[in-house]
Structure 1
Amino acid sequence: MKKQALSSFDRAVFNISSEFSKIPNYEKVLEDEDLKKLHTFVAVGIMSIHDAITIVYGSFIPAANKLVVNTRDNIQKSLFKNVFTSVNYDPVIIQHDTIRLGYVFVFHKFEVFVNQLIDMLDDLSGKKAVTVREYAISKFRFNVKHWYKNKAIHLVNFISNCTKHQDGFCRSDNASHTIPEELNQVPENHKIIRTAQQFKSDTNALTDQITSLIRIISLIMTYQTAENSLKNLSESPIFEPSDDLIKSSLLILENSIRNLIRYYEQ
């Protein structure tokens, strides 16, 4: 029997579950109510994004396509057919608008999920002078809101922004942000047009970034906690040279985080 391919949703859940399973005594750890809450939030968040993609691709776009056909039929039968023809009105714009709005819908779900996840991680780690979001910027120059640094996220975010702020025209509202290579050939005076299949591919690629984001953010939080502990330890009168092993471990972790960020921002 042919093995069923993993969906984007299943792949994301599987990857994140694999990361969680690396935690020593994972089942015991899950007895902690806060960690169980985090685990549940991640699973539900991924499902919510996946559901948004499914609704747009499986319901909204087919409904728009049906409306295009019906509208064309109505125009052909209309007393005002010549008027519609004279202004070059093509009902296919209904489909294009629907797909672009789908990018807005899905990216909103994604952005809210990431922001809430970071806030939750901050809450779980206890009160700190610097939040993990701020620490990521100051220590690693990693700003999770700089979506343009990740190819897959940038594409969906760019189309979403163009839909909201440029009426769908392919225009960047920030000179420092390049136009995604998938849209390089679209003139500024043309609206972005993506097919239903491209929408599905683009948004699935977006969800594939969730695992990398969670890994980077959680490791930065771990590094921040360890660095604070080392600082407190070094100020202790019982600090010993053997504690340099902690510094060595931190350096290894720091390099791992920087490598993950480089890969994420390719």
Structure 2
Amino acid sequence: MKKQNSIDLLVDNLASQFSNIKNFELTQNDPMGNKFFNFIVKHSSELEAFKNLFVHYYLPASIKSSQDFSRELKFSKYKSLIKINADELKENYFETIRLGYVGAFHKYETYIKSISKIMDEFFLDLFDENDYQNIEPYLKENFNLELKKTINNFPASEKINWIANCVKHYDGYPVKQPVLHSFNTADKNEKIKIEAKEFREDLDDLIRQNQTLLSALFLVGFHQFAGQEQSNIKEQLSEGKTEEDVKAVRSKLEESIKFLFNI
């Protein structure tokens, strides 16, 4: 069976998710909608490519490097002078994975910085001039959340950030305070050792988290939109509905936002 093109698979998956949005087909012909879709494809594919780069290239290369060194050592006339055990030989492999967590978190930081800008651009088109409040201050004012500080609201970014900090500031030892719950029993005198399978799963979780964050910010934008006295949404809801109906819809949006941000 022919392997499916990874880019085709990514775009098809995103298109499937976006197709659940009413009138999605219009966004494909709308410049802003098209720009937004391309933004999501770009950042999703970058993180996917980053994961594959490590899993399929860097990690196998690090293992081969250790095997080559072990083979050379076995036949070296100085082998009796060089004492390196199996764990030490595998250190390059674990170091490569640790550096992968640093790179993955930098990718996430870039995503966080970029997504609020394009969300503002997207929602600005829906509001009357000067009525729109940028999404980050609105999030802070109404939900007491700072987007850059929501890292620990999500298990994926919390873990990746914690490991990255251990690597950058503690030479890879699991001593960053507070210690991540899953590392409570880890030996503080040994550097973090994570296998490729766990690394791959963590990055897959981060990719899904990015989609969750996107959904949450969409809801934040519509929460603001629904709260505008002259908004189209409120006008539509007000036709044959009570003010309580309008408030109930906005309340449900608020509940969904809090749920997605784990607050």
In the alignment, which residue of structure 1 is the partner of 2:27?
29
Over aligned residue pairs, what C-alpha RMSD do you find? 3.3
Q: Is this contact kept in 2: 1:170–1:192, CA < 8 A?
A: yes
Give 1:199 shift. 1.2
Give 1:88 shift. 9.6
In the aligned structure 1, how far is the partner of 2:209 from the partner of 2:95?
Answer: 26
User: Pick from 74, 77, 82: which aligns with 1:76?
Assistant: 74
Give 1:232 shift. 8.4
Give 1:164 shift. 1.7
In percent, how many aligned pairs have the same letter?
Answer: 24
User: Pick from 82, 93, 110: which aligns with 2:108?
Assistant: 110
Q: For residues 192-213 of structure 1, what are the alpha-carbon distances to aligned partners after superposition, in whole Å with 9 as ceiling and x for unaligned?
A: 0001111112211221212211
In the alignment, which residue of structure 1 is the partner of 2:195?
195
1:154 correspondence with 2:158: yes
In the aligned structure 2, how far is the partner of 1:51 from the partner of 1:86?
Answer: 34
Q: For residues 163-215 of structure 1, what are the alpha-carbon distances to aligned partners after superposition, in whole Å with 9 as ceiling and x for unaligned?
A: 1221111021x54xx4141x222122221000111111221122121221111
Q: Is this contact kept in 1: 2:10–2:45, CA < 8 A?
A: no
In the aligned structure 1, how far is the partner of 2:211 from the partner of 2:87?
Answer: 44
Which runs of 5 or more structure 2 residues have no equivalent in the other structure? 125-129, 233-237
Give 1:67 shift. 0.3
User: Pick from 83, 86, 94: which aligns with 1:85?
Assistant: 83
More displaced 10-residue stretch of structure 1: 70-79 or 239-248: 239-248
Q: Is this contact kept in 1: 2:154–2:261, CA < 8 A?
A: no
Which runs of 5 or more structure 1 residues have no equivalent in the other structure? 234-238
Q: For residues 73-112 of structure 1, what are the alpha-carbon distances to aligned partners after superposition, in whole Å with 9 as ceiling and x for unaligned?
A: 2233445434431899922111111111112222222331
Give 1:144 shift. 3.3
In the aligned structure 2, how far is the partner of 1:77 from the partner of 1:185?
Answer: 39
User: Superposition pairs for residues 132-143 of structure 1, below 5 Å?
Assistant: 132-143=135-146
In the alignment, which residue of structure 2 is the partner of 1:97?
95
In the aligned structure 2, how far is the partner of 1:88 from the partner of 1:205?
Answer: 31
More displaced 10-residue stretch of structure 1: 116-125 or 192-201: 116-125
What is the one-letter code of the residue matched to 1:230?
E
In the aligned structure 2, how far is the partner of 1:114 from the partner of 1:83?
Answer: 51
Give 1:129 shift. 7.1
In the aligned structure 2, how far is the partner of 1:232 from the partner of 1:159?
Answer: 44
In the aligned structure 1, how far is the partner of 2:206 from the partner of 2:87?
Answer: 33
Give 1:72 shift. 1.6
What is the one-letter code of the residue matched to 1:140?
F
In the aligned structure 2, how far is the partner of 1:180 from the partner of 1:128?
Answer: 43
In the alignment, which residue of structure 1 is the partner of 2:147?
144
- Normalising by structure 2, report the TM-score: 0.80
More displaced 10-residue stretch of structure 1: 251-260 or 51-60: 251-260
Give 1:257 shift. 1.9
What is the one-letter code of the residue matched to 2:160?
V
In the aligned structure 1, how far is the partner of 2:41 from the partner of 2:84?
Answer: 52
Residues 204 and 94 (structure 1), Cα distance of their counterparts in 2 relative to 1, 3 Å cut? same
Q: Which has the higher contact order (CA 8 A, sep 6+)?
A: 1
Q: For residues 5-62 of structure 1, what are the alpha-carbon distances to aligned partners after superposition, in whole Å with 9 as ceiling and x for unaligned?
A: xx9x958963x54542233222123322011101111012111100100010000000
- Normalising by structure 1, report the TM-score: 0.79
